[in-house]
């Protein structure tokens, strides 16, 4: 029972809002004490505050929390400069189709448009990075607006919703009669509303796939968002090969004989899927599932076959046919995949079954060829250390229950290319909506808050880690033990290598001075370990994963090492 079950004369808008959040399953608010009245009321409804150090970090924590928990998270901020710092995190969530409810304190209603302290136009600020922005100006309508925010965030294509709350609304007492009807709905799960596709289109899609000579499925992050992993697996078992995007990694087990792995912009020699390229380029029917067909995922739109027939499953009809004209299967991925499997089971799949043994052999041969490539391309005992060595060691000890998180830039590629999804549903979180630096550590903290019992390992470069050092204190204070591996090569790697690739030269500030990240960790009371030779890494990793404490492993890595990005292939300027 909560305070709002029996409202009293002392009930304020803050209590009404906290009760509404609890009704939607909220148990954590990512915030920094503001709006204070709401944060003070929240513990009375079973809600704790996860106190971030920076708003951009808090928004990223909320994003990762949503991806792992399947619940709609809440992040809060003060008006003005604090609100502006939410923008990058909400922009990532918008592009990555992740629901977040942001509650932003606004100035007192009597002071609106009078240049009150830190007053600004929050509607304009959030208009481009959210699905929905409203202000609640009536304490009696708090429940209504909270419900609208959660509905906007979790329905259709998920994304951020922003609710502006004048601070005096939270202090005001609503006129709530004891016998007035109360809202009961829990709108805090996503996807909120599931819908299937047109049965006629599903039947046509099944006919295309059954009649194809070289069908292929390419699964994106929408499969995770829809919790459609099991449905996709059933489709794969019918005999269809499945590749994934970076965000789709883990939607199928990469050990499955019909899994191609991650396909996209890092399929040059050394790429795990480099020898599977023709299975993509030669496909005659391609089924896209929750896939934005963006630049990186398609290798600048050069990878997917131009002459193929496309079938596209997506909750957002505007994504279907955006870059590849397709048979439209608009709907929730889990429901539509189930519809499609049922239609295929009623079709003649003899051709698919006949081709399966040879296809499995070809995929296995491609995997073996990649392993041979790595023995010739990589010096596993080099110092400074090659990131590929770190990924090999991590891959050997990472349990299937672990959540692996990467920062943007090279870190996302090292994770996607170097680690193995050994079960369908294994999670690898990467900020691929906008791919901004600094997401790694806060993503890890959000994931840990959502799944406290899961081991969480974060990979970040020294460039990205520099954005968010302060959140180590958050991790310790909020008791969110994660393992952070910092690739310390003293450069902005992607920036320097891209400039060398394009111009044969690089700008000055891609180089950093030496930083001891292990010492930074120890300075805030966390564990810090410095690794300078390959043999030191695995023992340090195993010890860190065995502790219920925050550990930073600062690894001195080779600045010349770069992932197998296809546009880097053959560029002599990178052989420095």
Residue 550 CB neighbour total at 10 angstroms: 28
CB atoms within 10 A of CB 41: 23
475-494 pLDDT, tens digit each: 999 999 999 999 999 999 99
C-alpha span between 79 and 121 (Å, rounded): 10
User: What confidence score (pLDDT) does residue 10 get?
Assistant: 63
Predicted pLDDT of residue 27:
98
Q: Is 553 exposed, middle or buried (0-12, 13-18, 19+ CB in 10 A)?
A: buried
**From CA 269, how far away is CA 274, in angstroms rounded?**
6
Is 7's pLDDT higher than 60? no
| Among the listed residues 95, 100, 59, the one whose alpha carbon sits nearest the alpha carbon of residue 77 | 59
pLDDT tens per residue across span 240-272: 999 999 999 999 999 999 999 999 999 999 999
Residue 377 neighbours by CB distance under 10 Å: 13
* The predicted structure's pLDDT at residue 177: 74
User: Which of 129, 130, 128, 190 is closest to 155 using CA atoms?
Assistant: 190
The pLDDT of residue 253:
98
Cα 282–chain centre separation = 30
Asked if pLDDT for residue 397 goes beyond 70, the answer is yes
Helix (H, G, I), strand (E, B) or coil at 132: strand
Q: What ranges make up the beta strands (E) of 210-324?
A: 215-219, 242-244, 259-262, 285-289, 309-314
In the chain, what is the greatest distance between 2 CA atoms, to the nearest angstrom? 77
Residue 75, pLDDT above cutoff 60 = yes
pLDDT for the residue numbered 223 = 98
Q: How far apart are CA 56 and CA 201, in angstroms?
A: 42
Q: What percent of the chain has pLDDT over 70?
A: 98
The per-residue pLDDT for range 154-208, each reduced to its tens digit, is 999 999 999 999 999 999 999 877 777 788 999 999 999 999 999 999 999 999 9
Q: Looking at the predicted structure, is the pLDDT value of residue 542 above 90?
A: yes
Q: Confidence band (pLDDT; 50, 70, 90) for 6?
A: very low
Q: What is the mean pLDDT of residues 302-306?
A: 97
Angle between helices 13-23 and 142-154 (to 10 degrees): 30
Q: Where are the alpha helices (DSSP H) in 400-482?
A: 410-418, 440-450, 462-465, 471-477
Domains of the chain (ranges, CATH numbers): 13-171 (3.40.50.970), 199-368 (3.40.50.1220), 378-574 (3.40.50.970)
Question: What is the model's pLDDT at position 198?
Answer: 98
- Residues 417 and 427: their CA atoms lie apart, in Å, by 14
Q: For residue 422, is pLDDT > 50?
A: yes
């Amino acid at each position: 029972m909560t305070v709002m079950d029996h409202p009293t004369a002392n009930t304020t808008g803050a209590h009404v809002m906290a009760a509404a959040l609890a009704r939607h399953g909220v148990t954590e608010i990512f915030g920094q004490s503001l709006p204070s009245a709401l944060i003070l009321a929240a513990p009375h409804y079973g809600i704790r505050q996860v106190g971030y150090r920076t708003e951009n970090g808090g928004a990223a924590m909320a994003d990762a929390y949503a991806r792992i928990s399947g619940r709609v998270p809440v992040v809060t901020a003060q008006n003005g400069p604090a609100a502006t710092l939410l923008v990058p995190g909400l922009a990532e969530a918008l592009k990555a189709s992740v629901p977040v409810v942001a509650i932003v304190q606004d100035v007192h209603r009597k002071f609106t448009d009078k240049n009150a302290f830190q007053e600004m136009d929050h509607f304009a600020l959030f208009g481009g990075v959210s699905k929905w922005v409203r202000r609640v100006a009536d304490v009696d309508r708090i429940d209504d607006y909270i419900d609208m925010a959660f509905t906007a965030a979790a329905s259709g294509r998920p994304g951020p919703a922003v609710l502006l709350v004048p601070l005096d609304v939270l202090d005001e007492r609503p006129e709530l009669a004891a016998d007035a009807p109360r809202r009961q709905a829990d709108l805090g799960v996503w996807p909120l509303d599931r819908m299937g596709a047109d049965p006629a289109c599903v039947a046509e899609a099944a006919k295309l796939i059954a009649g194809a000579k070289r069908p292929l499925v390419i699964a994106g992050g929408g499969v995770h968002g829809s919790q459609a992993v099991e449905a996709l697996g059933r489709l794969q078992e019918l005999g269809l090969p499945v590749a994934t995007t970076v965000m789709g990694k883990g939607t199928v087990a990469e050990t499955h004989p019909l899994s191609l792995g991650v396909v996209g912009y890092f399929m040059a020699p050394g790429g795990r899927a480099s020898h599977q390229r023709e299975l993509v380029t030669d496909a005659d029917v391609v089924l896209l599932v929750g896939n934005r067909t963006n630049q990186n995922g398609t290798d600048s739109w050069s990878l997917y076959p131009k002459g193929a027939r496309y079938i596209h499953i997506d909750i957002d009809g505007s994504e279907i046919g955006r870059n590849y004209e397709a048979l439209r299967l608009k709907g929730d991925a889990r429901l539509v995949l189930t519809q499609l499997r049922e239609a295929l089971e009623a079709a003649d799949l003899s051709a698919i079954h006949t081709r399966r043994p040879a296809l499995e052999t070809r995929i296995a041969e491609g995997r073996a060829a990649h392993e041979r490539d790595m023995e010739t391309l990589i010096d596993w005992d080099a110092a400074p250390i090659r990131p590929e060595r770190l990924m090999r060691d991590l891959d050997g000890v990472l349990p299937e229950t672990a959540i692996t998180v990467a920062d943007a830039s090279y870190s996302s590629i090292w994770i996607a290319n170097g680690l193995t999804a050994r079960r369908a549903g294994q999670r690898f979180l990467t900020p691929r909506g906008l791919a901004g630096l600094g997401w790694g550590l806060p993503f890890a903290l959000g994931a840990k808050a959502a799944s406290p019992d899961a081991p969480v390992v974060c990979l970040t470069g020294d460039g990205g880690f520099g954005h968010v050092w302060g959140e180590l204190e958050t991790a310790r204070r909020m008791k969110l033990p994660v393992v952070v591996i910092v690739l310390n090569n003293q450069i902005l790697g992607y920036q320097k290598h891209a400039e060398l690739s394009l111009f044969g030269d690089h700008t000055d500030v891609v180089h950093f001075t030496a930083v001891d990240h292990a010492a930074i960790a120890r300075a805030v009371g966390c564990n810090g370990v410095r690794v300078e030779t390959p043999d030191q890494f695995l023992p340090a990793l195993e010890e860190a994963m065995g502790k219920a404490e925050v550990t930073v492993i600062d690894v001195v890595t080779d600045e010349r090492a770069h992932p197998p990005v296809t546009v880097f292939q053959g560029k002599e300027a990178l052989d420095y």
